Structures are given as structure tokens and as C-alpha cells.
Amino acid sequence: MPRKKRDYPWIAVFGLLVAFGIPWFLWGSTATWVGLPVWLWWHIGWMALAAVAFAGFTRGAWDRGMDIDREGADG
């Protein structure tokens, strides 16, 4: 597969992660759960999800965009 095409899903994942790092759909919401605002729980879950996504990126897609042979760059 051409390099660019394989990059698109990751660009989308990173874009989504950044776009919803702030839960805009909860704007103005005062709902709480277990004593903390729901938007704070979103933040906690989102950071955990980001860590999982980043771990996936380092496993399968590291070196994307760097013009490096996969074989030569496992560092």
C-alpha cells in the first residue's frame, strides 16, 4: 500500500484525539458523577484512551512520515 494511504487512519485518530480533548458537547454541563464533574471523567477516560492509541502507534506505525525503512529502524 502506498505510504500516504496507510498514514490517513493515524492522522484521523490523532485529529479526533485532539479535537475532543475538550468535550465540547458537555459545554455548560454541571452534571457530576461520584463527586466530580462528568467532563472531568471524560478527561480521565480520554487521556487513558490516548495512551492506548499512542501505544498502538508505537507498535505498528512508528516511523510514519520519517522516510525510514521499517527494517532498519527498530531502535
> Would you list the DSSP string of 39-54?
HHHHHHHHHHHHHHHH
Q: How far apart are CA 70 and CA 9, in angstroms?
A: 18
Cβ proximity of 6 and 64 under 8 Å: yes
Minimal distance in Å, beta carbon 14 to other proteins? 6
Residue 66 makes contact with other proteins by CB under 8 A: yes
Residue 75 makes contact with other proteins by CB under 8 A: yes
Minimal distance in Å, beta carbon 40 to other proteins? 7
Size of the site for other proteins (CB under 8 A): 41
Instruction: Give the nearer residue to other proteins in terms of CB position, either 5 or 33.
Output: 33
Residue 28 makes contact with other proteins by CB under 8 A: yes
Q: For 17, phi and psi rounded to 5 degrees?
A: -60, -45
